[in-house]
DNA sequence: GTTGCCCGTGGCACTCGGTGCCTCTAGCGT
DNA sequence: ACGCTAGAGGCACCGAGTGCCACGGGCAAC
């Protein structure tokens, strides 16, 4: 790979970053539905056509590099020891993959606030979470010696992801001191089978 | 209310039924994205404009009267005794609200197959399920003496709904003999905190 | 019966998200 | 100077969804 390819890739990432930043600000200020692609492109100093080419869709402008996120989750699960309980491993992977640097937290808050409150983004999130679920279900299946499509692996995947989402909501609303803390609380409740409610 | 209102309401329900039936068949045959509103309207013997007026959106054509579904779930939870455990009550409500007559099962299968496999419908489902979650979270909060926005009520709502969705998948794939059976299995796993995985 | 009202319906025009196709241009190696 | 490549812009098009207006049939009051 010649040097030029790297430079050009950097250029594309630059425009991507500009677009995502502009989109995040405009969405937060005026609401997701109220902002048009044309306005985002103008704010990012580019064109409508380039917007779609670099970020794919309006919703994707909010998610950033979520595929990399999922890949990291998969790697973490792969490299977790078989001696640690399954639920603990999943919790650990969720905590570590969401261990953001303090300076990144404001942007994360902005992003998650949009995803959790804007209906269109809430709907789109299901598609992204499905990728996460597949990864987790695959891991649970491997640990249990079952098929990834069997009930328990799927259930663990969706239930833990539900716990993670709830933890995000709690963190966002200020009810939890930290994201890791909220995740541990939610997973704890889940793993105990909701004592007192049975 | 004069008799005419009832008759006219019936007329509107007739066109709604025609549209939903045509949409379900076309979607199942050719795929959700491949079918245009115009084609559905033509198959239902009506117009594009009437389609949007009666069913609201393309995705809503698949969901039928889901609001009534949610209302029934709320009523069932309201009338469940306080002596029965919370999770048991939620399971019971889910089982009862999904207790379809045998002749309705084929249509239900068709509907759920679309919702669980078509990406656009999968995304839209999140919005519908959010209504369910609000109802369940409200019930759990009342039983626990907590706020509906607190972590545990929200977590129970999303986790039980995840269990219900997984149960639907299992039923649809033929892995479970009946929907009620799949629901009981999934809720059982959830309430036990996934023994063997901790 | 005629008039006026209500309401389901259809048509039309418009916005906006998303895509395919073509072109331009800047940077590169030969 | 030449061609190649890839990011970028422009343009036309499709389809979902909406606002507005017009038509028509049933119904009630006069």
Give the N- to C-terminal CA distance of chain A in Å, as an integer.
Answer: 60
- Tokens read off for A136: 């987790």
Is A75 an 8 Å CB contact of chain B?
no
Same domain, A124 and A183: yes
H helix intervals, chain B: 3-30, 37-43, 48-55, 60-63, 66-78, 86-97, 105-117, 119-144, 151-172, 179-191
Other CB atoms within 10 Å distance of the CB of residue A57: 12
Residue B171: HSE in the Cβ half-sphere, 13 Å Cα cutoff: 25
Chain A residues within an 8 Å CB radius of B88: 198
What average pLDDT does this structure show over B37-62? 98
Residue B65: HSE in the Cβ half-sphere, 13 Å Cα cutoff: 9
Same domain, B9 and B46: yes
Residue B198: inside a domain, yes or no? no
The per-residue pLDDT for B195 is: 85
CB contact at 8 A, A183 and A94:
yes
Same domain, A172 and A81: yes
Residue A198: inside a domain, yes or no? no
Question: Which nucleotide has the shortest C1'-to-CA distance from B39?
Answer: D15
Mean pLDDT, contiguous 10-residue spans, chain A (198 residues): 43 89 98 98 98 97 95 97 95 98 97 98 98 98 96 98 98 96 97 87
Q: Per mean pLDDT, which range of A125-139, B11-25, B119-133, B154-168 is the poorest?
A: B11-25
Residue B12 has pLDDT above 90, yes or no: no
CA B96 to chain centroid: 13
Tokens 């390819």 sit on residue:
A5
CA distance A79 to chain B (A): 17
Residue B196: inside a domain, yes or no? no
What whole-number distance in Å separates Cα of residue B116 and Cα of residue B50?
27
The per-residue pLDDT for A12 is: 79
The per-residue pLDDT for A172 is: 97
Same domain, B80 and B21: no
Q: Alpha-carbon Rg of chain B, whole angstroms?
A: 19
Size of interface A-B (CB pairs under 8 A): 123
Residue B188 has pLDDT above 50, yes or no: yes
Same domain, B50 and B126: no
CA B161 to chain centroid: 10
Looking at residue A32, which CATH number applies to its domain? 1.10.10.60
Other CB atoms within 10 Å distance of the CB of residue B172: 18
Same domain, B38 and B88: no
B149: buried, middle or exposed (CB in 10 Å: 19+, 13-18, 0-12)? Answer: middle
Check residue A147 and report its DSSP letter. Answer: -
Closest residue of chain B to A156, computed from CA coordinates: B194
Range of the domain at A55: 3-61
Number of structural domains in chain B: 2
Same domain, A21 and A89: no
CA distance A111 to chain B (A): 18
Residue B130 has pLDDT above 70, yes or no: yes
**pLDDT tens figures, B87-98:** 999 999 999 999
Check residue A104 and report its DSSP letter. Answer: G
The per-residue pLDDT for B46 is: 97
Planar angle of CA A17, A33, B27, nearest 5 degrees? 105
Same domain, A56 and A71: no
Q: What percent of chain B has pLDDT above 70?
A: 95
What whole-number distance in Å separates Cα of residue B108 and Cα of residue B112?
6
- Residue B7 CB in 7 A reach of strand D: yes
Residue B6 has pLDDT above 90, yes or no: no
The per-residue pLDDT for B122 is: 98
User: Which nucleotides on chain D have any atom < 7 A from a protein Cβ?
Assistant: 6-11, 15-20, 26-28
Banded model confidence at residue B123, pLDDT cuts 50, 70, 90: very high
What whole-number distance in Å separates Cα of residue B119 and Cα of residue A47?
28
Mean pLDDT, chain B, rounded, equals 94
């Amino acid at each position: 790979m010649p040097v030029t390819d790297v430079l050009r890739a950097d250029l594309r990432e630059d425009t991507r970053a500009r677009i995502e930043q502009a989109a995040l600000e405009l969405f937060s200020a005026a609401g997701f539905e109220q902002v048009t692609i044309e306005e985002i492109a103008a704010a990012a100093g580019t064109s409508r056509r380039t917007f779609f080419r670099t970020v794919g869709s309006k919703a994707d402008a909010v998610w950033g590099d979520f595929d990399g996120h999922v890949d990291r989750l998969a790697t973490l699960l792969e490299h977790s020891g078989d001696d640690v309980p399954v639920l603990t491993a999943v919790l650990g992977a969720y905590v570590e993959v969401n261990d953001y640097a303090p300076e990144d937290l404001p942007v994360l808050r902005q992003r998650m606030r949009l995803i959790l409150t804007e209906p269109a983004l809430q709907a789109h999130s299901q598609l992204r979470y499905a990728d996460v679920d597949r990864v987790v279900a695959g891991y649970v299946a491997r640990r249990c010696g079952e098929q990834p499509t069997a009930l328990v692996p799927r259930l663990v995947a969706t239930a833990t992801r539900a716990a993670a989402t709830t933890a995000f909501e709690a963190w966002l609303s200020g009810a939890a001191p930290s994201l890791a803390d909220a995740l541990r609380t939610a997973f704890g409740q889940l793993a105990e089978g909701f004592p007192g409610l049975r």
